[in-house]
Chain A
Amino acid sequence: TNRECASHMLRKKLPFLHSLLSPVSRHVGHLTGHQYDVIVVGGGHAGTEAAAAAARVGAETLLITQKIHTIGALSCNPSLGGVGKGQLVKEVDALDGLCGRAGDWAGIHFSILNRRKGPAVWGPRAQLDRQRYRDFIQSELLSTPRLTMVEGSVEELLVTEPNPEEPGHHRVTGIRLGTQSVVLTTGTFLSGSLFVGQTTSPGGRIGDAPSSAGLSHTLRERLGLRTGRLRTGTPPRIVKDSVDLSLAKLHLPDSHPTPFSFLNTHTHCKPEEQLPCYLTFTTPGVERVVRESLQLNCHIQQDTKGPRYCPSIESRVLRFPGRSHQVWLEPEGVTSDLLYPQGLSMTMPPDIQLRLIREIPPMRRAEIHTPGYGVQYDFVCPTQLSPALQVKSTQGLFLAGQINGTTGYEEAAAQGLWAGANAARSALSMPTVTLSRTESYIGVLIDDLVSRGVTEPYRMFTSRAEFRTSLRPDNADLRLTPKGFEEVGCVSSVRYQESLRVRNSLQDALTALQALFLSTSSWKKKLPSVPISETKSTLLTGLDLLQYNDVTFEMLASAFPESLSSFMEFAQRLKIEAVYKPHCDLNKKEIERIQREENMSLPQDIDYFSLPVSLSDEVREILDRVRPSTLGAATRLEGITPAAVVNLLNYVRVTEKKKETHRNQRQQEAQRDEELCANSASLPQ
């Protein structure tokens, strides 16, 4: 099989592994000799969160990136959050990550998407000022203890020779600088190439030096990792003054901006200082330009087996011809004189890009500041990772962001935080931790990646979360902050204390609501405006009442000020809790069952083909290929039968019992030995 083949090759190469190290850039030179616990490669959304999280957990951390001043740069769209993505931002913030607070600092247009569709699917979103976002991230990292940043380019990884007993298994030892853990967050730079029209050049982002193919080569050839290739793109940036915005539809932000972070009560930008967005539409002329220029468009010509969704304007008009498509004109910052045309990602030659945008009425006379372009890059098939985002076959090597086949800032940040925290834990000899898909979108994201893999850039949607009604943006702090402090160590005690205060207050408020136990007629007297059905003769609690559409917590609090008025700061959260409580209670049993199964880990070194358990060959093959880390993950695999699950469960229980007996025996023996030693020591000489 491939695996055997790869490990065979690795064994043959052994003696040279140590000498294959990198020409790390000159800036790093003076650091040689310094030991770091964790080295993070890359300074994008994944890298910055990873470095900050590793340092928060307590690891001496080094962040290496090509240019310090591009740390925290928004390479593509100037916005954060949205439906599904906003949930990720809230969760990253609940784990004390950076992006939520950075968004609150840099946001210049805040809105909650899906406002009328139910709080579980609200999508907090903001347009950002690029400069402010970068400034915030950089100053936050500079003031983070235990974190060093350095400019450099990493070409090779140092790894140990594989253990002869475990062929194909390595441990990362550094990148010339010694380290325990490495987090790779190379984004689109892993063997990246840029496409504009018919020209192709190596690189991951316009204006930045290409990274070498060496790293990609190390991962593939030396560590035997399977990689694939993905594509993405970005639209041209338009000169704002050249656009007639009066021809586009004005889109205003929320009049009261809602901050992303649980720690913030307001955003940096004042409500009245927010900038608007504009909406416009493509015309038949756009489709004509795309079709006429197809032969000049390398990126699109290679689009044989692209993603199911439409990554560029070219694929939009080709796949859905004859329609008008939305184009959002978004501000790039308070002082920026550019506009970002969301929906117009394109890779045709620059002169044709200009022709295309001028087919859209507000841009008839528009000028392009920087043309759009496409990027193709390598990713590592994420099924080779553990739920801690560690490469299964290489201890200490963690991957996060686009290198795992995802797209989007929020997806990258979420993985970065989790990989960074785990890299630090691993370096500090603490066990790695996992997040379940039953408790967070981050868990859904990671579980989907490591157990299903990707065939197109993975993006978060709320429909991917089966427990969507429980995993809401409003309760991310309750779900994750205590765990982040108690089990992961990536949350500051200030945030932790605040989350406890919130949790206790909410609990007290719900108890107080349930203690209001009145007949329907008494409720009618208290709240005359609410249509309470007369036929209901039973007693209703305040919590029941709060589930009514037209009852707000404020109404209840003014009717019962003595018991409820102290909880006014949580009015909205309490309303949401009340409405969703019955549904979450229904989910609870299923969640508990899944968590039980997820708590049973399957050893990573099982030989599924020789396992003395009744399993079909087909099932053995699936298990061997995917190597699920828990019984829960195995249960979710396509093709695993109920019988196979029970047999695996039984196997896990029996081996655990054996291990325990073994451990007890050893303990007893050790104790006996100690006693013997003690006795012999006390013997007179």
Chain B
Amino acid sequence: MLPLRPVCGGIWRAAVHTVRMSRGAPPYRLFSSTCDGAPAALADADTIFALSSGHGRCGVAVVRVSGPASATALRCMAGFTQRLPPPRTALLRSITDPRSTEVLDRGLVLWFPAPRSFSGEDSVEFHIHGGPAVVTAVLQALGSVPGLRPAEAGEFTRRAFQAGKLGLTEVEGLGDLIHAETEAQRRQALRQMSGELGRLYQDWSDRLKRCLAHVEAFIDFSEDELIEDGVLNRVDVSVSDLQAEIERHLKDERRGERLRSGVQVVIAGATNAGKSSLLNKLCQRPAAIVSPIAGTTRDVVETALDLGGFPVLLSDTAGLRDSSDLVEREGVRRARERVEQADLTLVVVDSHLRSVLPDTGTVPCVCLLMHRLCLLVLNKADLLPEKQRQKLDTELRGVSGLPAVRLISCQTNEGLKAFLTVLHSSVKTLCGDPLFGAPTLTQARHRAHLQRCAAALAQYQRYRDTDLALAAEGVRLAVTSLGRITGRVGAEEILDIIFKDFCIGK
């Protein structure tokens, strides 16, 4: 599984929250939160940031920062060198990159000292221009400020909750909100992790786990058992290789895969339901081959669309059915994978089949409906006699918990306009949600975790010869940091490797 559990659990999570990103003299340390009235208890807490306005076409984007180093961010990015601005007052400032002092944008900044802020902590808001380039630049600049890191799913709300800042109704919705955020993050992570990048991270993770297992074996067993002398030397080599590789990766901008931007809409359903016809209708060109033969589409066909001003990435997938054809089976696997990653699924069903709901070969479709944001599209309305339409109508009414249903015909264009309206409003809602999309945020989060990972490996090298417990702590932190991208690593998993690689007696 991917990093689905960012805020909870984790036996080896230890001090990951509190690792300083750079231990070498941080330039902003001199005026960190000491004089800004942050409660001492919070002095070690992390400061988090995130884009809290929508993605896609919007005039103004709002980036929120919360935590003790908020004032630092304000000072070094909005040029408040002497004193901070008056609380809760909007000021127009140039927003600069603290590394290069290059001006990124002109926008409004607001300073909310604790406790009178959304999260109850020191907070800053940057209201900047909504273009993706500006937003990305500001997020990256924030990421370079010491003590700041991208927020995990639900983190802002959790902090507000812990500070007692949420009303009763908001608290009740909190679980759902965090669920939604976790889901959004999961989908983004899935998109990034399939492909070369995912394989790279996985390889690092495997090697790191092995390093940790070997250091731990050396600590726990080398005095009683026969653990070859070379074990630690091999870990040394492995750790420095990993550190170099990760640092190189962080420097090499080209290695990041181009991220597909836009709402991911996936068309899925049984074979011959008219999925490709729907894709062609929506993009108004014959992007996919259409034929009456079931199983025509075998691979994923992808098109970028502009839907009423919002970016949409539309994918047509192979019809879901069990097949003995090797190529088709692969197509179905890809289709399922795509549905997993989708923000919105259009489930296409052939409406003139006797019963639309279960038991007619559409079972996989009905499974898709569960727990996912989707629209049910009943195609081939033109083949449906009037009497059956009414029957279908009552039948659908009898099922509770169904998503929005639209009856259309790709042949006659019947119902297509109404369907487009529903689709448009769904996409609009998704774009208005700050959690959705923003691949830059996922990227920033990955960067932050990788930076911590590399820094933690440096801790191993610093303590290697003087204190192996502290050196091992470095490898543990590195495993935890990378685990936030590739999935949590538990103590038992490390013990598995130890017992597999070494003969440990009773």
Decide if A614 touches B175 in the complex (CB within 8 Å): yes
Interface: B134 (CB within 8 A): no
CA distance A311 to B467 in the complex (A): 30
Measured between alpha carbons, how far is A656 from B18 in the docked complex, in Å?
31
- Please tell me if the beta carbons of A310 and B505 are within 8 angstroms of each other in the complex: yes
| Distance, CA A60 to CA B178, complexed state (A) | 52
Asked if A119 is an interface residue, CB under 8 A from chain B, the answer is yes
Chain A residues with CB under 8 Å of B350's CB are none
Residue of B nearest to A466 (CB): B14
A647 with B175: CB separation less than 8 A: yes
Known: A309-B499, A345-B506. A646 touches B470 (CB 8 A): no
Query: Would you call A467 and B9 a contact (CB within 8 A)?
Result: no
Chain B 170-197 near chain A by CB (<8 Å), digits 1 or 0: 0110111011001000000000000000
Give the nearest-CB partner of A536 in chain B: B25
Q: Which of B219, B498, B504 contacts A310 (CB 8 A)?
A: B504
Give the complex CA separation of A636 and B5 in angstroms.
11
CA gap between A407 and B504 in the complex, in Å: 14
Interface residues of A in 601-637 (CB under 8 A from B): 613-614, 635-637
B506's contact among A233, A324, A325, by CB below 8 Å, is which? A233
**A222, CB-defined interface residue at 8 Å:** no
Known A463-B216, A590-B13; contact A646-B468, beta-carbon cutoff 8 A:
no
User: Could you give, for residues 313-328 of chain A, a 1 whenever the CB lies within 8 Å of some chain B CB and a 0 otherwise?
Assistant: 0001001100111101
A589 touches B8 (CB 8 A): no
Contacts of A118 in B (CB 8 A): 463, 466-471
Residue in contact with B503 in the complex, picked from A310, A643, A645, CB distance below 8 Å: A310
Kindly provide the distance from the CB of B1 to the nearest chain A CB, expressed in whole angstroms.
10
Tally of B interface residues using CB under 8 Å: 60
Return the contact of A583 from the options B45, B161, B218, B473 (Cβ within 8 A). B473
B495 within 8 A of A: yes
A311 to B179, CA, bound (A): 44
Q: Which residue of B lies closest to A317 (CB)?
A: B503
Contact status B182-A642, CB under 8 Å: yes
CA distance A650 to B177 in the complex (A): 14
A232 to B505, CA, bound (A): 11
- Hey, what's the 0/1 contact readout for A463-474 against B, CB within 8 Å counting as 1? 110111100000
Inter-chain contact A117/B469, CB cutoff 8 Å? yes
A156, chain B: closest CB distance, angstroms: 33
Complex alpha-carbon distance, A599 and B439, angstroms: 38
Q: Are B494 and A463 in contact (CB under 8 A)?
A: yes
Interchain CB contact under 8 A, A643 and B14: no
A121 within 8 A of B: yes
* A114 CB contact (under 8 Å) in B161, B176, B223, B470: B223
Q: How far, in angstroms, from A463 to B18 measured CA to CA in the complex?
A: 20
- Chain B 2-28 interface mask (CB, 8 Å, partner A; 1/0): 001111111111111111000000000
B325 interface hit (Cβ, 8 Å): no
Instruction: Tell me which of B10, B12, B466 contacts A549 (CB under 8 A).
Output: B466
What 0/1 pattern do residues 209 to 226 of B give for CB contact below 8 A with A? 000000010111101111
A643 to B225, CA, bound (A): 44
**Docked complex Cα distance between A468 and B470 (Å):** 9
- Decide: A643 and B179 in contact? CB cutoff 8 A: yes
Q: Is B245 an interface residue (CB 8 A)?
A: no
Q: Across the interface, name the chain B residue whose C-beta is closest to A636.
A: B9
Residues of B within 8 A of A466 (CB): 11-14, 476, 491
CA distance A326 to B221 in the complex (A): 12
Is A506 in contact with chain B by the CB < 8 A criterion? no
Tell me whether B44 is interfacial, beta carbon within 8 Å: yes
Nearest opposing residue in chain A for B219, CB measure: A121
With contact pairs A118-B467, A469-B470, A640-B9 given, residues A343 and B505 touching in the complex (Cβ less than 8 Å):
yes
Tell me the minimal C-beta distance from A273 to chain B in angstroms: 23
The CA of A614 and the CA of B5, in the complex, are separated in Å by: 18
Check: B142 CB closer than 8 A to any chain A CB.
no
Chain A nearest Cβ from B504, distance in angstroms? 4
A161–B233 Cα gap in the complex (Å)? 62
On whether the beta carbons of A468 and B174 are closer than 8 Å, the reply is: no
Q: Which residues of A contact B506 (CB under 8 A)?
A: 232-233, 309-312, 345, 407
User: With the chains together, A468 CA to B15 CA distance in Å?
Assistant: 11
Interface check A218, CB cutoff 8 A? no
Q: List chain B residues, Cβ under 8 A from A116.
A: 468
Q: Which residues of chain A from 354 to 397 have a CB within 8 Å of any chain B CB?
A: none
Q: Is the Cβ of A646 less than 8 Å from the Cβ of B161?
A: yes
Interface residue B158 (Cβ < 8 Å from any Cβ of A): yes
Chain B residues near A319 (CB-CB < 8 A): 503
Contact between B182 and A641, CB atoms less than 8 A apart: yes
Taking a contact as CB atoms under 8 Å apart, the answer to whether A643 and B9 are in contact is no
**Closest Cβ–Cβ distance, residue A318 to chain B (whole Å):** 10
Chain B residues closer than 8 Å to A587, beta-carbon distance:
14-15, 18
Residues of A within 8 A of B223 (CB): 82-83, 113-114, 123
Known A82-B224, A312-B506; judge A585-B44 contact (CB<8 A).
yes
Task: Decide yes or no whether A586 CB sits under 8 A from chain B.
Answer: yes
Q: Is the CB of A463 within 8 A of B495?
A: yes
CB contacts (< 8 Å) of A343 on chain B: these are: 505
Rounded to whole Å, the gap between the CB of B372 and the closest CB of chain A is 14
A117 to B16, CA, bound (A): 23
Contact of A650 among B8, B44, B174, B216 (CB under 8 A): B174
User: In the assembled complex, which residues on chain B have CB atoms less than 8 Å from the CB atom of A123?
Assistant: 223
Q: How far is the CB of A549 from chain B (nearest CB, A)?
A: 5
Instruction: Name the distance in Å between A84's Cβ and chain B's nearest Cβ.
Output: 6
Q: Does B154 contact A (CB under 8 A)?
A: yes
Shortest C-beta distance, A10 to chain B (Å), equals 34
Q: B496 contacts the other chain (Cβ, under 8 Å)?
A: yes
CA gap between A464 and B182 in the complex, in Å: 28
- Expressed in whole angstroms, the minimum distance between the Cβ of B454 and any Cβ of chain A is 17
Q: State how many angstroms separate the Cβ of B273 from the closest Cβ of chain A.
A: 30
Per the bound structure, the CA–CA distance linking A645 and B4 in Å amounts to 13
A114/B219 in contact, CB under 8 A: yes
B312 at the interface (CB under 8 A from A): no
Query: Are A324 and B226 touching (Cβ within 8 A)?
Result: yes
State the CA gap A581–B495 with chains docked (Å).
Answer: 28
A320 to B496 alpha-carbon distance, docked (Å): 15
Cα distance A133–B10 in the bound complex, in angstroms: 40
Bound-complex Cα distance A642 to B463 (A): 34
The reply on B365 being an interface residue by CB < 8 A is no
B282, chain A: closest CB distance, angstroms: 33
Q: Kindly provide the distance from the CB of A377 to the nearest chain B CB, expressed in whole angstroms.
A: 15
Residues on A with C-beta less than 8 A from B9 are 635-638, 640
B153 CB-CB contact with A under 8 Å: yes
A583 to B19, CA, bound (A): 10
In this assembly, does A17 line the interface, its C-beta being within 8 Å of a C-beta of chain B? Answer: no
Given A308-B495, A614-B176, are A642 and B219 neighbors across the interface (CB < 8 Å)?
no
Contacts of A407 in B (CB 8 A): 506
A618 to B45, CA, bound (A): 33
A641 x B4 contact (CB < 8 A): yes
Interchain CB contact (< 8 A) of B18 among A328, A342, A589, A644: A589
Query: Told that A83-B219, A328-B224 touch, could you supply 17 new A-B pairs with CB distance under 8 A?
Result: A114-B223, A117-B218, A117-B468, A118-B469, A309-B506, A310-B505, A342-B224, A461-B216, A461-B495, A462-B220, A464-B491, A583-B473, A586-B44, A635-B8, A642-B8, A646-B178, A650-B174
Counting from the closest, the 8 A-B pairs by CB-CB distance are A118-B467, A118-B469, A643-B179, A120-B469, A647-B175, A308-B499, A117-B468, A113-B223
Q: Enumerate 25 A-B pairs (CB-CB under 8 Å) in ascending A order.
A: A83-B220, A83-B221, A116-B468, A121-B469, A310-B503, A316-B503, A323-B503, A328-B224, A345-B506, A407-B506, A463-B219, A469-B469, A583-B473, A587-B18, A589-B15, A589-B44, A590-B13, A590-B17, A635-B8, A645-B7, A646-B161, A646-B178, A647-B174, A650-B171, A650-B172
Which A residues contact B (CB, under 8 angstroms)? Answer: 82-84, 113-114, 116-121, 123, 232-233, 308-312, 316, 319-320, 323-326, 328, 342-343, 345, 407, 461-464, 466-469, 549, 579-580, 583, 585-590, 613-614, 635-638, 640-647, 650
B binding-site residues for A, Cβ under 8 Å: 4-19, 44-45, 153-154, 158, 161, 171-172, 174-176, 178-179, 182, 216, 218-221, 223-226, 463, 466-471, 473, 476, 490-491, 494-496, 498-500, 503-506
